A and B are shown apart, each in its own frame.
Chain A
């Protein structure tokens, strides 16, 4: 078994506030992973507003915001446990985020 972090990215800050239906879909997806005993950490949602994020560059210049002027911003993450990365990808594909043009990055966690 390996642990994978699923990192969610959205394009539009407006999508950050889900409708009740979207919320229900997300919850169904998350609970379905838990029901398969594959959820390690239900993770967190990251606030996308300008005053809720700072970026510190290599020369320690601090800028505001979670870089939403870029194409995408990270909106949240969870950690799941599966046998293979392919299985993790299959689970990720069921997430309703793709309906609103979001994307998911699947990354294996380094086990210490």
Chain B
């Protein structure tokens, strides 16, 4: 038996249980979360079961095989959280990085193929092929969760972090049809990242920066959606709903992260998120633009490019902002047209509407489409 098979079995078990349970009790209000919780519990049951087997049976066998292992084994090597251990196992560098991340998101974070494709800004077919190849490799190599060497852990850490980052982002900016925010994914990403700090090998500056970033962002989770799940943008959020506890935690981890000599993209993103937790309204934008400048030089992404253009508009004014945005030519991206719609609103209402219309036709998320429609109506109301 290999673990990838087990995970797939757990997934199909979960759906079976869902079809039984839902037929009797009706579909729960949050089916996604329900499935996730059931799958998690099933996985835990399995791992508990397996742990007992390992403890009682296989440890004896293994120790008999190589005794010197006992001496080289230290606490540092073991990743104590079973889900994390699985994540590290999946992030095997013999699979292409994108394949590792796809697999991690699917089997560990419970993403559908579509969600993986959206998270990685790719398409369904590519991801399917990638997942097939990755699983095929794992099957052929008799995949199992082994203890990894220090070097292996260090090598795999960046991919593990990227997976956690994407897990968090999917929770925070869910592309899911009906929900804009999926808190449970955010909290799970934080929980896993925090357990990385419990091990000296993985308690790196990057990990702490990532946690700081996630804490700062999470502080606004309750303020970002209204009673009916609609999106509330930053400027309209009720600051009393911001979670000061999470901001404090962010501050705690950012200090741990800057203690060492490394600046990663997580550091920069955490610094940007920090500025957004302050009460500075206008003066924050110049430092934020500088941080986005740094971030886009480390790693290109359309979202970073758009956020940078927004900050540019905040610093240099609407016209310059439009100019900077239109250079990006992200003609397939709903947020690109959403940003242009926003920027054109006062300058050229007709142009703004046209852009919002394009954004609506491109966005896969219902709450997001609602927001664009609302903004369009507001323009019509004034003009």
Contact = CB atoms under 8 A, between A and B. Distances in A.
Interface of A: 24, 27-28, 30-32, 34-37, 39, 42
Contacts of B312: 28
B290 A35 contact: no
B328 to A, nearest CB: 6
Contacts of A39: 297
B324 interface: yes
A99 to B, nearest CB: 16
Given A31-B296, A36-B327, 6 more contacts: A32-B324, A34-B296, A35-B327, A35-B328, A36-B305, A42-B297
A28 B296 CA distance: 11
Nearest to A29: B293
B309 A35 contact: yes
Contacts of A24: 290
A88 B293 CA distance: 20
Of B292, B297, B312, which is in contact with the most chain A CB atoms at under 10 Å from its CB?
B297
Nearest to A31: B293
A31 B293 CA distance: 5
B308 interface: yes
A90 B289 CA distance: 23
B329 interface: yes
B283 to A, nearest CB: 15
23 contacts: A27-B290, A28-B289, A28-B293, A30-B293, A30-B297, A31-B292, A31-B293, A31-B294, A31-B297, A31-B308, A34-B297, A35-B300, A35-B305, A35-B308, A35-B309, A35-B324, A35-B327, A36-B305, A36-B327, A36-B328, A36-B329, A37-B300, A37-B305
A4 B292 CA distance: 25
Interface string B316-343: 0000000010011100000000000000
A27 B297 CA distance: 10
Given A24-B290, A28-B293, A34 B300 contact: yes
A35 B323 CA distance: 13
Main secondary structure on B side of the interface with A: helix
Top-8 shortest CB links A-B: A31-B293, A35-B305, A34-B296, A27-B293, A31-B296, A35-B296, A34-B297, A37-B300
A31 B329 CA distance: 15
A30 B324 CA distance: 12
B234 to A, nearest CB: 21
B300 to A, nearest CB: 5
B285 to A, nearest CB: 12
A90 to B, nearest CB: 10
Nearest to B293: A31
B56 to A, nearest CB: 55
A36 B305 CA distance: 8
A24 B289 CA distance: 10
Interface in B298-312: 300, 304-305, 308-309, 312
Contacts of B289: 28
Interface string B276-300: 0000000000000110111011001
Contacts of B305: 35-37
Nearest to B325: A35
A53 to B, nearest CB: 26
Contacts of A42: 297
A109 B66 CA distance: 57
B294 to A, nearest CB: 8
